[in-house]
Amino acid sequence: FGDADTYKILKAAQILHEEGTAIPILLGNREKIARLVTENEMDLDGIQIIDPYEEEEARMRYAKILHKKRKRKGMSLHDAQKAMRDRNYFGAMMVELGEGDAFVAGLTKNYPDSIRPALQIIGRREDVHTVAGMHIVRTKNGPYFFADTTINKNPTADQLFEIARMTSEQMKAFNVKPRIAMLSYSNFGSNIDENTQPIIEATARLQKTFPEMIVDGDIQANVAVRQDILEENYDFSTLTKAGGANTFIFPNLMSGNIAYKLTSEISQSETIGPILLGMKKPVHILQLGSSVREIVNIAAIAVVDAQMWKEVKA
């Protein structure tokens, strides 16, 4: 965990440790952590605490590796050494070198600053060209999955294809069968223009590449979840036969971000995320100011991702 010298991270680490969900490693100012533990009567016995400022040998070793990765992108060795004082760089390098299984950060920094070190050090999976963010909204009717909600402002057809594919893969890791709606203001080509064309192209490519995948579009959001409308008007759709969508791929970042937040607030539902998709190794970036419960939920997902990654590499 980055941001470990905060109450929320320490409390989440205590819960994860006590429940046996994960083995936390806390990155932060040792004195501040000790003070917070005492003030809040927390028990962190058995949890490793690393203060990057105290770890000069590790910082220098990590800096050499970072410099090698970034030297042709303008980063000097001095820049790399300076960067390694930042817990987000230090933690990402621990995961890159196998000294940690997953990294969770972002509680006290904005999203771009939090994700940048992981992208520079760990990078994307070799089989994808983009990364994306997914949120889960747990409603009374079951969980719904929203993507992309954090990264790609105006995704191309190729990016929409990858976002849908990565979302499907992540859902399968949760033992949930994805039923994917490629969302639009149009239904199945009723309005074809520069806004709907990428969605239509991505949908066609998904259906051709993954014939077993339940995916359709372009489709309006209300239609995607209304079985009566689907049956009455679109009996040809795979979503109709599957009982409607549980997964929504949005045409742009603005609509995806608005939709998951609005759905969560109106339905008073718990939200889990953002879940970062497409990285070589497990990294998840918290929302600025996340609650203890949200941190615990993201950490649990990081554990699942780490187990999956180890299985793939085995």
Which fold, 7-123+280-313?
Rossmann fold (3.40.50)
Angle between helices 87-96 and 56-70 (to 10 degrees): 80
CB atoms within 10 A of CB 161: 24
Q: Which residues contact 216 (CB under 8 A, 6 or more apart)?
A: 180, 181, 182, 188, 203, 207, 237, 238, 239
**Sign, CA torsion 112/83/37/14:** positive
- Distance, in Å, from the CA atom of 115 to the CA atom of 309, rounded to the nearest integer, reads 19
Strands 247-249 and 25-27: what pairing? unpaired
- Measured CA to CA, the distance from residue 135 to residue 137 in angstroms comes to 7
For the chain, residues classed under CATH 3.40.50.10950 are 7-123+280-313
Q: Are strands 25-27 and 48-50 parallel, antiparallel or unpaired?
A: parallel
> What count of Cα atoms within 13 Å lies in the side-chain half-sphere of residue 205?
16
**Rg of the chain's alpha carbons, rounded to an integer?**
21
Q: Are 288 and 110 in contact (CB under 8 A)?
A: yes
Gap between the Cα atoms of 222 and 278, Å rounded: 28
For residue 189, what are the contacts with CB-CB under 8 A and spacing of at least 6?
196, 200, 218
β partners of residue 145: 136, 247
CB neighbours of 265 closer than 8 A, spacing ≥ 6? none
Q: What are phi and psi of 191, to 5 degrees?
A: -135, 110
For 83, phi then psi, to 5°, come to -60, -35
* pLDDT attached to residue 288: 83
Q: Where do the CATH 3.40.50.10750 domains begin and end in the chain?
A: 132-267
Chain CA centroid to CA 272, Å? 10
The alpha carbon of residue 125 and the mean position of all alpha carbons in its chain are separated, in whole angstroms, by 14
Q: What is the pLDDT of residue 314?
A: 60
- pLDDT at position 148: 96
Mind listing the pLDDT tens digit of every residue in the chain (314 residues)?
999 999 999 999 999 999 999 999 999 999 999 999 999 999 999 999 999 999 999 999 999 999 999 999 999 999 999 999 999 999 999 999 999 999 999 999 888 889 999 999 999 999 999 999 999 999 998 999 999 999 999 999 999 999 999 999 999 988 999 999 999 999 998 988 999 999 999 999 999 999 999 999 999 999 999 999 999 999 999 999 999 999 999 999 999 999 999 999 999 999 998 899 999 999 999 988 889 999 999 999 999 889 888 776 66
What is the model's pLDDT at position 208? 97
Class of the CATH-defined domain 132-267:
alpha beta
Q: How far is CA 103 from CA 1, 87, 95, in A?
A: 6, 11, 7
- The one-character DSSP state at 279 is B
Helix (H, G, I), strand (E, B) or coil at 274: strand
Distance (Å, whole) CA 220 – CA 239: 12
